[in-house]
Amino acid sequence: MITDKDFSYIRDLVRARCGLVLSDDKHYLVETRLSPLLQSSSLRSIAELVSALRQQEDQLQRQVVELMMTNETYFFRDVVPFDVLHQVAIPTLAASRAASGELAIWSAACSTGQEPYSIALLLREEFQRLSSWKVRILASDISTSVLARARLGRYSQYEISRGLPPHLLKHLQPSSDSWTIRDDVRGMVEFRQINLLSAWDDLPTMDIIFLRNVLIYFSDDDKRRILSRIRQLLRPDGYLFLGGAESTMHLDDHFERMLIDRAGCYRLRGEA
């Protein structure tokens, strides 16, 4: 059983390291998420874990933070945003970027990679005319463990069955117990460890940013800071995709929602 004092320490640590906000009723969640760490170490209780964390062991702190993150994802999640990407965003940008032949897309908080690979598969399958373009798909996450999985591009049958259309299986290599994204598609995606609360000033300007289902875990102040930095990174006519339960309302008035079904698609005000 985790004590209130130990819970508060872990909640504050996670909040400081990655911005994740844990409400007061998440004691059970903390115990459940950290249980594998206790089982694989010499630590016998949450109290011993907190004692070790107080010694400023960076690697252990990083492990705790990664275990507390929610990594739910699947191919073409929620469908509608990818329909808008296919039918509106990419055709519009392809027309306006014809002279440069360049397109930059960022999948932030990409987890195990299904989102950026969905984008890559859509481009490979539906936009052959962009094959000669310089298309950069950057995928990032705070967790090094999920990024390691994403780079492999290997998924179980269950993960494949969650959202991947059957006609796209030709872009994956089957094995006895898994499927692996083929090298030509995996090569389209660059994976990188990024903490959204830390500096990412070296990123290039982006035409499309997927920041889906991640802002809900931050405080309002952190949401404002992230959206402000996203605004500086997004090109004036670019597209920002948020999760269905997320909004820029009362956080950043520079964004305007596009009235396209449940896409959660935003553009800078005056460009929509």
Residue 72 near residue 57 (C-beta atoms within 8 A): no
Just list the catalytic residues: 33, 141
- What 3-state DSSP class applies to 88? helix
For 68, phi and psi rounded to 5 degrees? Answer: -85, -10
**Residues 46-81: pLDDT tens digits?**
999 988 888 867 788 888 888 888 788 999 999 999
Helices (H) and strands (E) in the chain, counts: 11, 10
**Residues 234-249: pLDDT tens digits?**
999 999 999 988 999 9
Q: Which CATH number fits domain 4-68: 1.10.3470, 3.30.70, 1.10.155, 3.10.129?
A: 1.10.155
Domain with CATH 3.40.50.150 in the chain: 80-268
Give residue 219's pLDDT. Answer: 92
**Residues 170-206: pLDDT tens digits?**
999 999 889 999 999 999 999 999 999 988 889 999 9
Query: Residue holding tokens 């083929």?
Result: 182
Residue 35 has pLDDT above 60, yes or no: yes
DSSP state of 87: I
Give residue 61's pLDDT. Answer: 86
**Residues 219-228: pLDDT tens digits?**
999 999 999 9
Exposure string of 68-87, with b = 16+ CB inside 10 Å and e = fewer, is bbeeebbbbbbebbbebbbe
Give residue 272's pLDDT. Answer: 53
Domain 80-268 fold is Rossmann fold (3.40.50)
Query: Residue holding tokens 């039918």?
Result: 87
- What 3-state DSSP class applies to 195? coil
* Distances in whole angstroms, Cα of residue 55 to Cα of each of 10, 11, 19, 253: 13, 17, 21, 43
Cα–Cα distance measured from residue 257 to residue 269, given in angstroms and rounded to the nearest whole number: 9
Q: Record the tokens describing residue 187, joined without a space.
A: 């090569």
Give residue 127's pLDDT. Answer: 93
